């Protein structure tokens, strides 16, 4: 029987252990979305590199917190992250997910919740977290919710002045962003030396002074966050997912506008369900069909390499029951790499 490239990939996948596969991906942190990983690193198994800081920006319905917690849940599956402290700094005090059910008992047991209020608190807490021997993966959700010691002091003075019938001290309210560059400079150096990862989540703000060429949306924090981040990812909500006329999830579309790993600007999308989380299998199937790597016959998908022809819902069950998730990811990686190869100029090198 003739062996295809796809069948060779599937057979190869069964032989390799996930932790031993592709040593070049061991320094990358898995996100829980194969397409998100590929967007960030051109690798199926990891997105952000250890030793870096990342800035994730989006509005309240774009899935920022879901993505961050899914990343932490994925980390719990790998022995190489066993010594990392997993910290989720919920500055907004808005975290309401059922952690054990959506992200697993392992994450629930390991997850730490630092309590910070100001940018100065965050600075000192992050360094205290790395004061021991263990590296960390630290999520700050969100930068916008932080205040500053100066702002708190000004607020107290204003309240005291009003009680006396006087006006309080005025300010442009820029204390937090003015000191941010120096703080991030120190933090980034510490991250590099400890194999840690810092993800700072930011909210989008509408830019009313955009003009003709300006960006429609911006984030707070000035240019410092973008300057020190190895990845800058903007999340957007593409649409709602419904069943029986009721919303059960949404489509999230992340775009890497800054990428120091590959230098590429890429955009993907995946569904997020309220009672399940990121649907990696569903997004991978959609990608392979959309890129015509898999063909469709009516409503049925011809899933080459997975020995299946049928509806998408049944294909998802087939993959889950037969434990073919790794095989699916390899096929998605092959498709992605083929697309990227076709985008190359293939010109003679300018320099020897």
Q: Measured at the alpha carbon of residue 108, what is the angle toward residues 197 and 141, in degrees to the nearest 5?
A: 45
Nearest to 284 by CA among 329, 241, 247: 329
Number of domains present in the structure of the chain: 1
Whether 298 is in a domain gets the answer no
- pLDDT of amino acid 143: 93
- pLDDT of amino acid 169: 55
Q: Measured at the alpha carbon of residue 276, what is the angle toward residues 85 and 242, in degrees to the nearest 5?
A: 145
Query: What is the C-alpha separation between 67 and 73, in angstroms, rounded?
Result: 10
Instruction: Evaluate whether 57 touches 93 at the Cβ level (below 8 Å).
Output: no
Structure tokens at 65: 């917190």
CA 313 vs. chain centroid, Å, equals 26
- pLDDT of amino acid 117: 93
Query: What is the C-alpha separation between 59 and 250, in angstroms, rounded?
Result: 13
Whether 322 is in a domain gets the answer no
Query: What is the C-alpha separation between 267 and 190, in angstroms, rounded?
Result: 30
- pLDDT of amino acid 60: 84
Instruction: Evaluate whether 254 touches 267 at the Cβ level (below 8 Å).
Output: yes
- Residue range 297-327, pLDDT digits in tens: 999 999 999 999 999 999 999 999 999 999 9
Query: What is the C-alpha separation between 350 and 141, in angstroms, rounded?
Result: 44
- Residue range 196-205, pLDDT digits in tens: 999 999 998 7
* Residue ranges in the chain modelled with pLDDT below 70: 1-24, 149-178, 206-217, 220-222
Cβ neighbours of 196 (radius 10 Å): 24
Nearest to 228 by CA among 191, 270, 276: 191
Whether 16 is in a domain gets the answer no
Whether 275 is in a domain gets the answer yes
- Coil vs helix vs strand at 173: coil
Whether 318 is in a domain gets the answer no
- pLDDT of amino acid 49: 97
**Could you tell me which residues come within 8 angstroms of residue 201 by beta carbon, excluding any fewer than 6 positions away?**
56, 57, 58, 64, 65, 68, 139, 140, 141, 142, 143
Question: Could you tell me the CATH number of the domain that includes residue 59?
Answer: 3.40.50.300
- pLDDT of amino acid 180: 85
- pLDDT of amino acid 73: 98
CA 145 vs. chain centroid, Å, equals 19
The model's pTM:
0.87
Whether 243 is in a domain gets the answer yes
**Could you tell me which residues come within 8 angstroms of residue 186 by beta carbon, excluding any fewer than 6 positions away?**
123, 127
Instruction: Evaluate whether 197 touches 50 at the Cβ level (below 8 Å).
Output: yes
Instruction: Evaluate whether 42 touches 30 at the Cβ level (below 8 Å).
Output: no
Sheet holding 308-310, edge to edge: 295-297, 300-303, 308-310
Q: What is the DSSP string of 200-261?
A: EEEEEEE-TT-TTTS-SEEESSTTHHHHH-SEEEEEEEEEEEEETTEEEEEEEEEEEEEETT
Query: What is the C-alpha separation between 270 and 31, in angstroms, rounded?
Result: 12
Cβ neighbours of 112 (radius 10 Å): 12
Q: What is the DSSP string of 40-96?
A: HHS-SS--EETTEEEEEEE-TTS-HHHHHHHHHHHHTT-GGGTT-EEEEEETT----
Whether 95 is in a domain gets the answer yes
Whether 308 is in a domain gets the answer no
Domain assignment of residue 205, given as a range: 26-161+171-279
């Amino acid at each position: 029987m003739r062996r295809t490239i796809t069948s060779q990939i599937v057979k190869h996948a069964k032989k390799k252990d996930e932790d031993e596969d592709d040593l070049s991906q061991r320094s990358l942190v898995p996100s829980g979305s194969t397409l998100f990983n590929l967007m960030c690193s051109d690798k199926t198994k990891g997105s952000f590199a250890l030793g870096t800081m990342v800035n994730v920006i989006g509005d309240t319905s774009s899935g920022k917190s879901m993505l961050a917690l899914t990343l932490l849940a994925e980390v719990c599956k790998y022995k190489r992250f066993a010594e990392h402290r997993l910290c989720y700094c919920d500055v907004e005090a808005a975290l309401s997910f059922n952690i054990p059910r959506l992200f697993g008992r392992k994450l629930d047991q390991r997850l730490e919740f630092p309590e910070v209020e100001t940018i100065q608190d965050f600075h000192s807490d992050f360094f205290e977290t790395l004061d021991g021997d263990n590296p960390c993966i630290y999520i700050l959700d969100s930068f916008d919710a932080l205040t500053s010691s100066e702002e708190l002091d000004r607020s107290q003075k204003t309240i005291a002045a009003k009680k006396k019938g006087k006006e309080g001290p005025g300010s442009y309210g820029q204390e937090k962003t003015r000191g941010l560059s120096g703080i991030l400079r120190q933090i980034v150096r510490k991250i590099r030396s400890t194999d840690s990862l810092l993800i700072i989540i930011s909210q989008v703000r509408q830019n009313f002074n955009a003009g003709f060429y300006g960006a429609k949306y911006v984030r707070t924090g000035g240019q410092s966050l973008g300057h020190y981040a190895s990845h800058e990812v903007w999340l957007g909500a593409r649409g709602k997912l419904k069943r029986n006329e009721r919303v059960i999830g949404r489509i999230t579309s992340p775009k890497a506008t800054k990428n120091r790993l590959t230098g590429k600007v890429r955009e993907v999308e995946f569904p997020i369900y309220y009672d399940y989380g990121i649907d990696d299998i569903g997004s991978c199937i959609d990608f392979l069909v959309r890129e015509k790597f898999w063909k469709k016959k009516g409503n049925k998908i011809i899933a080459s390499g997975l020995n299946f022809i049928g509806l998408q819902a049944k294909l998802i069950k087939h993959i889950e029951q037969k434990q073919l998730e790794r095989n699916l990811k390899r096929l998605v990686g092959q498709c992605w790499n083929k697309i990227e190869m076709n985008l190359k100029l293939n010109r003679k090198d300018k320099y020897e």
